[in-house]
């Protein structure tokens, strides 16, 4: 179960590093809030997938990757666009905006829904699985933001471009895994 949790948290780790890059002044409580939102959705999705069982498996697998790709690409493009503006035109990209935070959390946890569907096929303690996924994701998100904070401040606002490109790349990877590398 821990391997599942670590595997599911890779997307969260990438997003967390990006958040740390662009928010190099991030404080512990703000990082904790972001990590809790990411972990909540990462834990909730397998539970919802488990509840949906086989009924939704075929439906969600047809387009889950497109949703994740679209959300991550839109957020990434916004980050790149904002970073290219002159300083007086810039609206700082705020990954802690509640709606944006929820959008990121959903985009990075859609694959956990499908994993939850597969959990419905085997005998598993779903509450234990959700707890392990939640805790692992929270720890991974906190580490990612710390790493991003430590490295992002050294490279300035250009890291916002890198972060945006990382999110676009993550979306492309998710899309490729479901369409090209099937």
Q: What is the pLDDT of residue 34?
A: 92
CB 152 within 8 A of CB 20: yes
pLDDT for the residue 88? 54
- Given a contact cutoff of 8 angstroms between Cβ atoms, the answer to whether 23 and 95 are in contact is yes
Tens digit of each residue's pLDDT (9 = 90 or more) over 36-82:
999 999 999 999 988 887 566 566 567 767 877 887 787 778 767 77
Task: Please measure the distance between the N-terminal and C-terminal CA atoms of the chain and give it in whole angstroms.
Answer: 24
* Band of residue 84 on the pLDDT scale cut at 50, 70, 90: confident
Contact predicate 43/126, CB 8 Å:
no
Cα dist. 49→44, 53, 102, 136 in Å? 9, 6, 18, 19
How many Cα neighbours within 13 Å face the side chain of 149?
14
**pLDDT tens digits along 124-173:** 899 999 999 999 999 999 999 998 888 865 655 566 677 678 778 877 88
Q: What is the pLDDT of residue 177?
A: 82
- Give the mean model confidence (pLDDT) for residues 106-125: 78
């Amino acid at each position: 179960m821990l391997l599942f949790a670590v595997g599911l948290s890779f997307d969260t780790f990438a997003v967390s590093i990006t958040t740390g890059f662009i928010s190099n002044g991030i404080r512990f409580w703000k990082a904790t809030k972001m990590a809790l939102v990411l972990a909540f959705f990462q834990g909730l999705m397998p539970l919802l997938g488990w509840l949906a069982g086989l009924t939704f498996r075929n439906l969600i697998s047809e387009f889950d990757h497109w949703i994740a790709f679209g959300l991550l690409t839109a957020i990434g493009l916004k980050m790149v666009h904002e970073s290219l503006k002159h300083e007086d035109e810039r609206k700082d990209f705020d990954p802690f905006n509640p709606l944006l935070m929820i959008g990121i959390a959903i985009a990075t946890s859609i694959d956990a829904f499908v994993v939850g569907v597969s959990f419905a096929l085997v005998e598993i303690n779903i509450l234990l699985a959700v707890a392990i996924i939640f805790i692992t994701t929270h720890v991974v998100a906190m580490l990612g933001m710390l790493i991003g904070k430590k490295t992002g401040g050294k490279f300035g606002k250009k890291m916002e471009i890198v972060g945006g490109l990382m999110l676009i790349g993550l979306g492309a990877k998710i899309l490729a895994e479901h369409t090209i590398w099937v």
